[in-house]
A and B are shown apart, each in its own frame.
Chain A
């Protein structure tokens, strides 16, 4: 991945070079019209939809937790764990994520409102809303501004210097996926930069940290103390604890995969910081169009991803009810075609593979993967070892050599 702005300088294909200012403005007007169509027809059926999803999720949760009271009995464990995983995924994705976006604020139902909702995960809603709605959605895919790009801990772009630590990236990325909810909580807390800037004594940070710890404690008490304890009469303390742990991991892996698919697969563009100075609404829309990727699939998949499978539509209209994204997707895609832009949509396995391939590729020096084959693998590994252990100068020289070889091979 190279920012769109650098692509033109490097003579690579810049996917928006052919758009005139008037084109970009017209794209904005047409997208506004699509949004207005949904607003005009938003009504009782949509309200019924979100209430039905919430109702279903709560009944699945109640049912699963009831079954898990007997989790010493293996079929009950399997059924209960499955149900609890589904319930937690629905809670976080189609319900929590979208309500916290304010997609359902228009209903004026104080129980289903972005300002009052809380969700079944470690990060408190208030902090997540700031880092996600405000920062990620406003600065989508702008290097240095959008921390969702690699969560500030990963190398997500060829232009970022490769360091030996980058090698650990796939492992780190996997651990982050397994414990995703805590990763998100730490990330919403901006823990990394707070520690780096030695601001851990800042009263505002203290307050927010306390909030996170309180939330984590309540979540853990529920999943790992109260429900297992309620299962003691059937001798199911440990099985229920394991079931809750498993359901949390399943939910973490699933939501991490969905989120990786949204902005990380090959074909998604990134942008330079200065490119958004004085950005117009039309330009913002175009950035969202090219900075997101969709997952194609069934209706069930869309619901389980919280309709983030329609990441492009979601990023264009983060405040529209999620159940409407599927309906506007063909119109949005037609707009991409009209302006000769690439609508990045693939089935989930391909998007997940693509995203992980990028994680692995960027954990290695630029050009290394391209220049490596079975035959030269030992030499290449030698080069990698030298780069990982050598000083900065060695890294730079070997890195340049790899890049030029890769260019020659292409």
Chain B
């Protein structure tokens, strides 16, 4: 290691203090706002800004799925194929956060992409597939997730169902880039022996099926496609038949909870390793009342008619409060998980961890609508 490449410590400290002073002056000149609030007007993707991105294109994959290509802000730290990203987009004026798998390996042009399947009643997925337009500014978080392939390679079985293919396609595209000359097999893919068991309702409804078929034809992976309308619903006990060397492989699975649970039981019984990825946490249907858990550890069983604030105070908890009629916002606290109902008009607010993030709700006019967790 050479030390001459590093600037002398004293000079660095000097530039740092000069920089700090400039920042302090800029802050003093813009208070109560931050210099960033003004810079965001002109350069929302600049280094140092909150992480955002701009949609560059929306490319249809099937009738109800599309790949969204995004130019991320300058501070995008990159990702490993298989990881997902949380994206926040304003729909009808309301910021909605969801998690989607990145469906490309790191791209040379620095763009990132997610592939979204519009699910029935899916507010965000339908918006992204059918309404989103290039040029829209979206809010991002850095890539995250442990659902990645070990770089040293090995023998793998990927079990994917429906849009569960998305993290896997990111891995496969990175290992076997598809070009005009066909599927490439760069050195980094030499040590990977991959079988993909992909489940979908039917061939035309299968996202990325052409990519999978091309990879299979080129001998990069072995594809076992199972369509519900053709082969019936997959029984996990058939895996040993579909993949004879199942025991030698590490299984990575991504799909709906039902499949992952069945696979978990199957692999546990067989003593096999399994890594899973699931996006949609089991969603609770809003009901009347429910158990409210507070960050302090307290829990309250509430009916559907009592404001959370009243019940919590009744239980002796110290709660922020104000007008107690829903106008002053003095009582808002974050709802981490679960649903609450606005007692004035029945409107339901639902927070899903990892997707919506915390949602601030007014406790004085909201009652529990199912089990919820409140950060207070």
Give chain A's interface residues, CB within 8 Å of chain B.
32, 36, 39, 42-48, 55, 58-59, 62, 101-102, 105-109, 111, 113-115, 118-120, 129-130, 133-134, 137-138, 215, 218-219, 221-222, 225-227, 230, 281, 284, 318-319
Contact = CB atoms under 8 A, between A and B. Distances in A.
A113 B31 CA distance: 17
Contacts of A129: 328-330
Nearest to B97: A108
Contact of A46 (B33, B93, B325, B332): B93
Contacts of A137: 323, 327-328
Q: Which of B28, B91, B359 has the most CB of A within 10 A?
A: B28
A218 B329 contact: no
Given A137-B327, A226-B25, A284-B325, A218 B31 contact: yes
B332 A105 contact: yes
Nearest to A125: B32
A252 B288 CA distance: 49
A62 B35 CA distance: 11
Contacts of B28: 218, 221-222, 225-226
B10 interface: no
B38 A107 contact: no
Q: Is the interface of B mostly helix, strand, loop or mixed?
A: loop
18 contacts: A36-B345, A39-B345, A42-B93, A43-B93, A46-B93, A47-B94, A58-B37, A58-B41, A59-B41, A107-B93, A108-B95, A109-B95, A114-B329, A130-B322, A134-B323, A134-B330, A225-B28, A226-B29
A113 B25 CA distance: 26
Contacts of A133: 322-323, 327-330
Given A32-B344, A44-B90, A108 B359 contact: yes
Interface in B294-349: 322-323, 325-330, 332, 344-345, 347
B376 interface: no
A32 B343 CA distance: 13
Given A115-B360, A137-B323, A218-B31, A130 B329 contact: no
Nearest to A319: B327
Contacts of B344: 32
B25 to A, nearest CB: 7
Contacts of A43: 92-93
A102 to B, nearest CB: 3
A279 to B, nearest CB: 10
A134 B95 contact: no
Q: Which of B25, B96, B327, B330 has the most CB of A within 10 A?
A: B327
Contact of A106 (B29, B93, B323): B93
Contacts of A44: 90-93
B325 A138 contact: yes
Interface of B: 25, 28-33, 37-38, 41, 90-96, 322-323, 325-330, 332, 344-345, 347, 359-360
B323 A108 contact: no
Contacts of A215: 32
Shortest beta-carbon contacts, A-B, top 7: A47-B93, A102-B329, A133-B328, A118-B32, A43-B92, A134-B322, A108-B95
Given A46-B93, A106-B93, A222 B31 contact: yes
A58 B41 CA distance: 8
Q: Is the interface of A mostly helix, strand, loop or mixed?
A: helix
B33 to A, nearest CB: 8
B330 A130 contact: yes
A265 to B, nearest CB: 23
B323 A138 contact: yes
A108 B359 CA distance: 7
A31 to B, nearest CB: 12
A101 B95 CA distance: 19
A62 B92 CA distance: 30
A203 B332 CA distance: 25
Contacts of A222: 28-31
Contacts of A111: 37
B141 to A, nearest CB: 13
A322 to B, nearest CB: 14
Contacts of B33: 58, 118
A135 to B, nearest CB: 9
Nearest to B139: A109
Nearest to B50: A111
B38 A227 contact: no
A227 to B, nearest CB: 6
Nearest to A126: B330
A231 B347 CA distance: 53
A282 B38 CA distance: 44
Nearest to B328: A133
B100 to A, nearest CB: 19
B177 to A, nearest CB: 38
B32 A120 contact: yes
A106 B332 contact: no
B139 to A, nearest CB: 9
B331 to A, nearest CB: 10
A170 B53 CA distance: 55
Contact of B94 (A106, A115, A221): A106
A240 to B, nearest CB: 12
A113 B360 contact: yes
A123 to B, nearest CB: 11
Given A115-B360, A138-B323, 20 more contacts: A39-B345, A43-B92, A102-B329, A105-B332, A106-B93, A107-B90, A107-B93, A108-B95, A111-B37, A118-B33, A133-B323, A134-B328, A137-B327, A138-B325, A219-B32, A222-B30, A226-B29, A227-B29, A281-B325, A319-B326
Nearest to A121: B32
A154 B376 CA distance: 40
Contacts of B91: 44
A101 B332 CA distance: 12
Contacts of A119: 32
A240 B296 CA distance: 52
B54 to A, nearest CB: 16
